[in-house]
Amino acid sequence: MKKTFKKGFNGFVSLALTSCFLVGCGGAKQDSYSATESSPTASYDSYDSCESCEEPGQAYYRSENNESYEKPDENGNTLVSSNPLSTFAMDVDTASYANVRRMIEDGYARGDIPAEAVRPEEFINYFSYDLNKPDNGEAFGITTEIADCPWNEDHKIMFVGLTTQEMDNKELPNSNLVFLIDVSGSMSSDDKLPLLQKSLKEFVDNYGGDGKVSIVTYSGHESVLLEGESLSNKKKIKKAIDSLRASGCTNGESGMEKAYQIAADNYIEGGVNRVIMATDGDLNVGISDPDELEEFIKEKKETGVFLSVLGFGTGNIKDSSMQRLADCGNGNYSYIDSMMEAKKVLVEEMSSTMVTVAKDAKIQVEFNPNKVNGYRLISYENRQMDAADFNDDKKDGGEVGAGHQVIALYEITTADSEKAVNLKYGNDEQKEYGNEFATVSVRYKEPEGEESKLSQYTVTDEDVKENPSDNMKFAQIVAEFALILTDSEYKGDASYDHITDTYSEIDAKDEYKDEFIQLVRMVEKRDL
């Protein structure tokens, strides 16, 4: 039995449908729904057995179009005279870009892509940039630049890029990795469990460190396939991965608790201790209340066991929940839609996703009112912090891995701009910092530390470039594309033509950046 329906507003269907109705075991059947005409189409899965029912072989029915996204309102403009400090957690995932790429490749037009699914900072930070390396003894290297804003001639863009020291995959610390894998019936399609299996085997083949691997699965119940297996026994690990089968409802009982228990039992002092959760979005892992689940993960991160989340497949992604869990667990949230993405996340960026070199990292930018009249941080809405939180070591920041890059773009109005807002009643500002646009402060803790360290950098007249660098050009056009996709009220003169024309001027290109411009052209063609 299979139903199809059209997607409605923002690519979604308005449904009144239980995610799992049980035939013959007291479950309510509610299959009414309404949909408006739009493309592309989506479909329901067939019936599958539900292992949590009293009688085996009873059926459940799951919608493939059960994705959910949420995002705070877009950042607005701020007057420097009223609030010169911009503070946010240095925590960047890449799931948003990979997920939206999947939508575009699946045929979505611009209007079909949920605006809430587009997080511009994750678009910008998906790519690699040529950033200054850390000086000896410094945790971060910083690259700053100011140039004209492409979509608003009255504004400029301030580029702030931070990076940590890279680590060779062969130098990874001893590792204690626990894979918590969703093997419910909804994981059966090719872009879910089969892709997950290929991805994990690629990871195992390329992991350069020593240590242990455990595998816990959850569906109608949790099961331990491997516990504390040596990473050197790659053949046995891959055989266990190959044995995974998707079936049953998602009722993980104590899957999450079991994974953390095994991680604790195999804990490696000074090593990488991490639970890696892989799912299509079903988060019923034994703790049903979302707040309790988040508190549980927060408690566990204090023991030194961190959590990363890998999303797979379509139709069931709980984007905001998956991101929150990774944030609570001092980890990363990635979306894997292809083997190319699996290799990027699990092989090429292995050290930055597995090895934390700075925890509770925060950025605070203080703008000089003599130079900057107003600013708008592009995205990072989910990472915003109060100014007072910057110096409070009890407030969580973000986690940064080895070789990790963090890019932030500010759209600024300079003090000498015709669009500057001049207040009649203002403080007389000191003039000795007249050549400084801003001071960038970074506060972080070492992985085993409890007290934070502070680094500071200044952005000066020397950073103003008439001819922007490739770093700036590319970051700008990625942000510009995100503004177009969300129909942002701040998109100004943003255009597909400007994006493609600017890309032709960039020398520092790679396969991921080439793929980006192809996505832009695909959306532009459908937008005509």
CATH of residue 314: 3.40.50.410
| Helix (H/G/I), strand (E/B), else coil: 15 | strand
pLDDT of 290 reads 80
The answer to whether residue 336 sits within a structural domain is yes
Peptide bond before residue 40 is cis, with ω within 30 degrees of 0: yes
Does residue 152 share a domain with residue 203? no
Q: Residue 270 domain-assigned?
A: yes
In angstroms, rounded to a whole number, what is the distance separating the alpha carbons of residues 70 and 290? 15
Pairing of strands 436-445, 356-367: antiparallel
CA 182 – CA 255 distance, rounded (Å): 9
Residues 448 and 377 in one domain: yes
pTM equals 0.86
Q: What does the alpha-carbon distance between residue 394 and residue 302 come to, in Å, rounded to a whole number?
A: 12
For residues 373 and 513, membership in a common domain is answered with yes
Is residue 85 in some structural domain?
Answer: yes
Give tens-digit pLDDT for 79-136: 999 999 999 999 889 999 999 999 999 999 999 999 999 999 999 999 999 999 999 8
**Position 475 in a domain:** yes
Sites in the chain below the pLDDT cut of 50:
1-63
Instruction: Confirm whether 426 is domain-assigned.
Output: yes
Q: Are 157 and 350 in contact (CB under 8 A)?
A: no
Answer yes or no: do 383 and 492 share one domain: yes
Examine the domain organization and report whether 365 and 514 are in the same domain: yes
Pairing of strands 306-312, 272-279: parallel
> Is the distance from CB of 371 to CB of 437 less than 8 angstroms?
yes
Nearest alpha-carbon partner for 446 in 363, 330, 358: 358
Q: Do 457 and 367 fall within a single domain?
A: yes
Q: Do 165 and 199 contact (CB within 8 A), yes or no?
A: no
Confidence (pLDDT) at 288: 72
pLDDT at 226: 97
Handedness of CA 82, 84, 90, 96 (dihedral sign): positive
Residue 416: the pLDDT is 87
293 and 419 co-located in one domain? no
- Do 519 and 427 fall into the same domain? yes
Give the domain-ending residue among 354, 369, 386: 354
What's the confidence (pLDDT) of residue 15? Answer: 30
User: In one letter, which amino acid is 427?
Assistant: N
| pLDDT, position 418 | 80
Cα(433)–Cα(381) distance, rounded to whole angstroms? Answer: 30
Helix axes 290-301, 255-265, angle to 10 degrees: 0
Q: What are phi and psi for residue 67, nearest 5 degrees?
A: -75, 150
Q: How far apart are CA 95 and CA 91, in angstroms?
A: 13
Residue finishing a domain among 303, 333, 354 = 354
Distance (Å, rounded) from C-alpha 222 to C-alpha 218? 4
Domain boundary among 327, 354, 381: 354
pLDDT recorded at residue 340: 96
Position 237 in a domain: yes
Q: Which of 119, 98, 118, 149 is nearest to 491 (CA)?
A: 149
For residue 108, give both structure tokens.
Answer: 């979505």
- For residue 243, being part of any structural domain is answered with yes
Number of residues written out for the chain: 528
198 and 309, same structural domain? Answer: yes
Alpha carbon distance 395, 397 (integer Å): 6
Residues 321, 342, single domain; the answer is yes
Q: Which domain holds residue 378?
A: 78-98+106-167+357-526
Which helix or strand (DSSP H or E) is residue 277 part of? strand 272-279
| Count: domains in the chain | 3
Give yes or no for a contact between 159 and 407, defined as CB atoms under 8 angstroms apart.
yes
Distance CA 187, CA 279 (A): 8
341/415 same-domain check: no
| 382/522 same-domain check | yes
Compute CA 520 distance to the chain's CA centroid, rounded to the nearest angstrom: 20
Q: Is residue 447 part of a domain?
A: yes
What number of CA atoms fall less than 13 Å from residue 489's CA on the CB side? 6
